[in-house]
């Protein structure tokens, strides 16, 4: 199974309560995925020339302050770091690719969850209800966010195997379904220079998007490519700096519902997650068509 | 006493859980007709499942999976949309959805009537075995897949692979058909089909002209009809 959720704010008032509503959606989807939970949150863009880095350490006493000092020495300015449960968020002045390379080289004990201007990824093995409390999701204000509750089928239950999977700067993917050709595709993508942290099938879908985008495709083209290059069942939600996209495989074995009103756009595996949102009773509700890419994007501010 | 004369029992799902609602409805089996109104469904699954009494149940709002599954005798009306498998394995009675239905509506249904006033998505009427289905809007891919008996009426368009591997069911479509599935062909509309369709449109509360529909059914060439064709698919 697995549950996925996407929430996009259309009003600044709703932004302030987005975390509360995303929490309710995840709790409602906990039955679909009791193994782990995760979110990608888009908020507070880093200043130009800097990027936000989300990191995970299994060590509850990890010396994040030492890491911040190390980063500041290697790069430019490092803002005050924020520790949230097993994760830390740092804003670092420097080139994202160089920062990632430095982290892989100097701190192989850490997992980079996401890098970008506004993305933050938090995820953890365990019950989704506990996750929303541990990561204080209810207090979060954000422009948009994705969430996932996992029922593992293809690979182990660990924090690393949890969703969302980052698929490039400010990009991430959550997946409900299972892919059949992930081993061969992973081998191909590795030869193309894409790095993988796990043997998870969904991470391959994220890596595939990263690769297509690096080849010059836009997000819509990259998702269209999934229809021919991925074999298996999927409903994907993909988070971007400006919004999110949804794609179901042409057979559409995995569910998806979308809904929209003046304050928000939402997608979820089941309507009951959307039913928790304010005004859901009167919102437009529909089922996304199989094999069609849906994209929501906020207007870019110059 | 007819159901229309009965007083209305109200159940608020914000206060009562689904098990209790269904138990109260199951306890009506063999009893007097009655009327029920269910509020705040919140997309919950398995509402009004397994009814076996001449009752009327109205649900105010969107429901989750398998609403009114295995229905016998009862009339269930959903004032909203339905998730996967509404009226799954319906035996008799009537299920009416005012909004849209998700996948596998009336799957394996053996009798009775399902009316979807909006559109139905993929696999509507999959393996239907005697249920009649009237969809006011369109249906997604693989409508009437392996349909064995009963009639599927589509007032809008049909998605790809309509009637794949169909047996004896009748399919009527007013709009466009994206493509026909294996062994499904267009067939002549004879008088008996026009009268069957007219009756279904009336029962299904659909205002549509019989003359605008085309009929589809089995060519009876698939390997289960002609074993020599076993290698053809």
- Across the interface, whether the CB atoms of B81 and A271 are under 8 A apart is answered yes
Q: Where are the alpha helices (DSSP H) in chain B?
A: 18-26, 191-203
Q: How far is A128 from chain B (nearest CA, A)?
A: 19
- Across the interface, whether the CB atoms of A274 and B43 are under 8 A apart is answered yes
Confidence class for position B224, pLDDT limits 50, 70, 90: confident
CA–CA distance, B128 with B109 (Å, rounded to integer)? 5
CB contact residues (below 8 A), chain B span 69-88, against chain A: 81, 83-84
CA–CA distance, A185 with A228 (Å, rounded to integer)? 12
The residues spanned by each domain of chain A are 3-45+118-297, 48-111
On the question of pLDDT at B4 being above 70, the answer is no
- Across the interface, whether the CB atoms of A270 and B64 are under 8 A apart is answered yes
pLDDT tens, position by position, A154-184: 789 999 999 999 988 999 999 999 999 999 9
Which of B44, B61, B121 is closest, CB to CB, to A287?
B121
Whether residue B198 contacts residue B207, with contact meaning beta carbons closer than 8 Å, is answered with no
CA–CA distance, A130 with A37 (Å, rounded to integer)? 9
Quote the pLDDT of residue A301. Answer: 42
The residue among A268, A270, A256, A265 whose CA lies nearest residue A283 is A265
- Across the interface, whether the CB atoms of B141 and A290 are under 8 A apart is answered yes
List the domain range (segments joined by +) for residue B89: 3-229
The chain B residue lying nearest A252, using CA atoms, is B122
CB contact residues (below 8 A), chain B span 192-231, against chain A: none
Quote the pLDDT of residue A10. Answer: 93
For residue B125, the domain's CATH number is: 2.160.20.60
Which of A252, A275, A289 is closest, CB to CB, to B42?
A275
The CATH fold of domain A48-111: Alpha-Beta Plaits (3.30.70)
CA–CA distance, A155 with A202 (Å, rounded to integer)? 10
Q: How far is B49 from chain A (nearest CA, A)?
A: 18
Tokens matching residue B13: 């799902």
Quote the pLDDT of residue A153. Answer: 85
- Across the interface, whether the CB atoms of A255 and B84 are under 8 A apart is answered yes
CA–CA distance, A37 with A131 (Å, rounded to integer)? 7
CA–CA distance, A112 with B9 (Å, rounded to integer)? 56
| A12-19 own/partner pairs: CB under 8 Å, 24+ apart | A13/A263, A14/A263, A14/A264, A15/A141, A15/A142, A15/A143, A16/A141, A17/A141, A18/A140, A18/A141, A18/A142, A18/A143, A18/A144, A18/A145, A19/A137, A19/A138, A19/A139, A19/A140, A19/A141, A19/A142, A19/A145
Quote the pLDDT of residue A264. Answer: 96
Which of B45, B64, B102 is closest, CB to CB, to A287?
B102
The residue among A228, A185, A224 whose CA lies nearest residue A205 is A185
Q: How far is B211 from chain A (nearest CA, A)?
A: 30
Say what the alpha-carbon torsion angle B220, B221, B227, B230 is, to the nearest 10 degrees: -130
Which residues lie across from A3 on neighbouring strands? A149
- Across the interface, whether the CB atoms of B103 and A252 are under 8 A apart is answered yes
- Rounded to 5 degrees, φ, ψ at A44 are 35, 70
| Alpha-carbon distances of B199 from A267, B76, B196, rounded to whole Å | 39, 20, 5
- Across the interface, whether the CB atoms of A281 and B61 are under 8 A apart is answered yes
- Across the interface, whether the CB atoms of A287 and B100 are under 8 A apart is answered yes
CB contact residues (below 8 A), chain A span 200-259, against chain B: 251-252, 255, 257
Other C-beta atoms lying within 10 Å of the C-beta of residue A228: 7
First-residue to last-residue Cα distance in chain B: 55
Confidence class for position B162, pLDDT limits 50, 70, 90: very high
- Across the interface, whether the CB atoms of B140 and A290 are under 8 A apart is answered yes
Number of domains chain B is built from: 1
Q: Residue with structure tokens 């063999």?
A: B30
Quote the pLDDT of residue B2. Answer: 63
Strand order in the sheet with B170-173: B8-12, B34-39, B55-60, B75-79, B94-97, B113-116, B129-135, B149-154, B170-173, B214-218, B184-187
CATH superfamily of A3-45+118-297: Aminohydrolase, N-terminal nucleophile (Ntn) domain (3.60.20.10)
- Rounded to 5 degrees, φ, ψ at B167 are -105, -105
pLDDT tens, position by position, A196-234: 989 999 999 999 999 999 999 989 999 999 999 999 999
Q: By the CB < 8 Å criterion, does B108 face chain A? A: no
Give the best residue of B14, B39, B43 to mutate against chain A (max A CB count within 10 A).
B43
The residue among A129, A137, A170, A108 whose CA lies nearest residue A31 is A129
Tokens matching residue B124: 């509507």
Tokens matching residue A140: 């979060």
Q: Which residues of A are catalytic?
A: 2
DSSP string, B45-111: SSTT-S-BSSEEEEEES---TTTTTT-BS-EEEEES-B-TTTTTT--SSEEEESS-B-SSTTTT--S
Tens of pLDDT along chain A (302 residues) come to: 899 999 999 999 999 999 999 999 999 999 999 999 999 999 999 999 999 999 999 999 999 999 999 999 999 888 889 999 999 999 999 999 999 999 999 999 999 999 999 999 999 999 999 999 999 999 999 999 999 999 998 789 999 999 999 988 999 999 999 999 999 999 999 999 998 989 999 999 999 999 999 999 989 999 999 999 999 999 999 999 988 899 999 999 899 999 999 999 999 999 999 999 999 999 999 999 999 999 988 764 43
Q: Which chain B residues contact residue A273 at CB under 8 A?
A: 43
Quote the pLDDT of residue A197. Answer: 87
Q: By the CB < 8 Å criterion, does A290 face chain B? A: yes
- Across the interface, whether the CB atoms of B103 and A275 are under 8 A apart is answered no
Confidence class for position B229, pLDDT limits 50, 70, 90: confident
| Alpha-carbon distances of A225 from A146, A199, A211, A246, A291, rounded to whole Å | 22, 22, 11, 14, 11
Whether residue B110 contacts residue B130, with contact meaning beta carbons closer than 8 Å, is answered with yes
CA–CA distance, B184 with A51 (Å, rounded to integer)? 57
Q: By the CB < 8 Å criterion, does A98 face chain B? A: no
Dihedral over Cα of A8, A14, A16, A20: its sign: negative
On the question of pLDDT at B233 being above 80, the answer is no
Q: By the CB < 8 Å criterion, does B141 face chain A? A: yes
Mean pLDDT calculated for residue range B151-169 = 98
Give the best residue of B13, B39, B42 to mutate against chain A (max A CB count within 10 A).
B42
Q: How far is B45 from chain A (nearest CA, A)?
A: 9
Whether residue B205 contacts residue B114, with contact meaning beta carbons closer than 8 Å, is answered with no
Give the best residue of B13, B60, B62 to mutate against chain A (max A CB count within 10 A).
B62
- Rounded to 5 degrees, φ, ψ at B132 are -105, 140
């Amino acid at each position: 199974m697995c549950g996925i959720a996407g929430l996009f704010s259309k009003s600044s008032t709703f932004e302030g309560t987005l975390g509360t509503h995303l929490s309710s959606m995840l709790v409602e989807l906990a039955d679909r995925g009791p193994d782990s939970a995760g979110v990608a949150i888009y908020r507070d863009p880093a200043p130009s020339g800097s990027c936000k880095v989300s990191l995970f350490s299994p060590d509850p006493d990890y010396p994040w302050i030492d890491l911040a000092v190390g980063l500041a020495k290697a790069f430019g300015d490092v803002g005050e770091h924020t520790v949230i449960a097993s994760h830390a968020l740092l804003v670092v002045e420097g080139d994202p690719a160089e920062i990632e390379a430095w982290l892989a080289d100097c701190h192989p004990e850490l997992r980079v969850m996401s890098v970008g201007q506004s993305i933050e990824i938090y995820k953890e093995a365990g019950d989704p209800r506990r996750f929303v409390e541990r990561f204080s999701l209810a207090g979060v204000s954000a422009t948009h966010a994705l969430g996932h509750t996992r029922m593992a089928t293809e690979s182990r239950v660990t924090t690393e195997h949890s969703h969302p999977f980052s698929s490039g700067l400010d990009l991430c993917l959550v997946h409900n379904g299972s892919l059949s050709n992930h081993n061969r595709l992973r081998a191909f993508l590795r030869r193309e220079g894409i790095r993988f942290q796990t043997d998870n099938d969904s991470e391959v879908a994220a890596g595939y998007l990263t690769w297509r985008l690096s080849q010059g495709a836009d997000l819509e083209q990259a998702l269209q490519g999934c229809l021919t290059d991925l074999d298996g069942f999927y409903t994907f939600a993909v988070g971007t700096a400006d919004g999110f996209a949804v794609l179901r495989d042409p057979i559409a074995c995995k569910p998806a519902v979308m809904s929209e009103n003046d304050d928000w756009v939402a997608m979820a595996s089941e309507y009951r997650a959307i039913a928790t949102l304010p005004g859901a009773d009167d919102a437009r509700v529909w089922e996304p068509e199989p094999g069609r890419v849906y994209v929501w994007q906020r207007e870019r501010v110059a | 006493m007819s159901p229309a004369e009965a007083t209305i029992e109200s159940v608020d799902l914000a206060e009562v859980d689904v098990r209790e609602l269904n138990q109260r409805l199951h306890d009506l089996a063999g009893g007097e007709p009655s009327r029920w109104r269910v509020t705040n469904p919140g997309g919950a699954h398995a509402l009004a499942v397994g009814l076996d009494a001449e009752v009327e149940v109205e649900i105010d709002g969107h429901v989750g999976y398998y609403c009114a599954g295995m229905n016998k005798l009862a009339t269930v009306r959903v004032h909203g949309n339905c998730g996967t498998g509404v009226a799954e394995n319906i035996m008799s009675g009537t299920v009416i959805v005012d909004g849209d239905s998700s996948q596998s509506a009336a799957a394996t249904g053996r009798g009775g009537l399902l009316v979807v006033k909006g559109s139905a998505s993929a696999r509507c009427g999959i393996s239907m075995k005697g249920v009649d289905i009237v969809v006011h809007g369109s249906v997604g891919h693989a409508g009437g897949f392996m349909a064995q008996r009963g009639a599927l009426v589509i007032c809008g368009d049909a998605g790809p692979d309509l009637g794949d591997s169909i047996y004896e069911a009748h399919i009527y479509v007013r709009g466009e058909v994206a493509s026909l599935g294996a062994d499904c062909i267009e067939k002549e509309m004879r008088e008996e089909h026009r009268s069957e369709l007219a009756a279904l449109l009336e029962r299904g509360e659909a205002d549509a002209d019989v003359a605008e529909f085309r009929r589809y059914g089995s060519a009876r060439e698939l390997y289960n009809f002609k074993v020599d064709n076993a290698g053809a698919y």
